[in-house]
Homo-oligomer: A and B are copies of this chain.
Amino acid sequence: MTSEQLAGLLAEVADGRLTPEAALERLRHLPFERLDFATIDHHRALRQGRPEVVYCAGKSIEHTVAICERLAAATGGFLGTRASDAQADALRARFPALRWHPVARVAHLAASDAPGPSGDAVLVISAGTSDLPVAEEAAIVAEAFGHVVERLTDVGVAGLHRILAAGDQLDRAKVIIVIAGMDGALPSVVGGLVRAPVIAVPTSVGYGASFGGLAALLTMLNSCASGVTVVNIDNGFGAAVAASRILSR
């Protein structure tokens, strides 16, 4: 509820168009919906310009479907991340129009009036083939948010000519998401080559002293290319939202 809305509400009370009790009621009933097991934030689209996304991991199939039903009822669609095959099956059974992206583990039901991708592109770069699930999560989510997405795959720093050969694409990009596991060195190289915002995503790809992605995370936080920002390990979704925040600025 913005300051302007509050001023309007108070004016209605002063005018006698609204009783104090009714105003109090309205102030209390902000636009969210309380289920037994969840409190759905229908207000978020208004507040942030993006629909609420369902993080499916760890939720029961019943809860997942029920939450998605409420979102579909309110906004015409929804986006579910980290979905299991079983959750995806249940959602597809309930919503035949659902699109399921198995590599990204993303289930998307587009609102019927959702516009197609438009505007500046998000460039999603991944260091290795094993980073694809995270890269695809970022790409699919950005597309679901209405952004154009370009992909550059398997261009890690051990074969530097691969990323150097993409100079034009790098120069053109308005926002870049760089995804890397193991040594996590790629964002430092990309960050030094471009002037666009760079969002680094460490992945849990690796073994031993990668400690589940900690090594790549620390590398990126300490990037000697300044102005690189970082999201959580394997958090392709968060990188897409960050890119969307920038493009929607």
Contacts and interface: CB of A to CB of B under 8 A. Distances in A.
B244 A43 contact: no
Contacts of A43: 159, 161
A205 to B, nearest CB: 6
Contact of A154 (B39, B182, B194): B39
Contact of A157 (B24, B167, B192): B192
Interface string A166-194: 01100100110000001111001101111
A93 interface: no
A209 B195 contact: no
Contacts of A211: 218
9 contacts: A3-B167, A13-B13, A13-B14, A37-B132, A41-B158, A183-B220, A185-B219, A185-B224, A208-B221
Given A3-B24, A50-B195, 12 more contacts: A10-B10, A30-B165, A44-B159, A48-B195, A157-B224, A158-B192, A174-B249, A184-B222, A208-B233, A222-B232, A226-B241, A246-B249
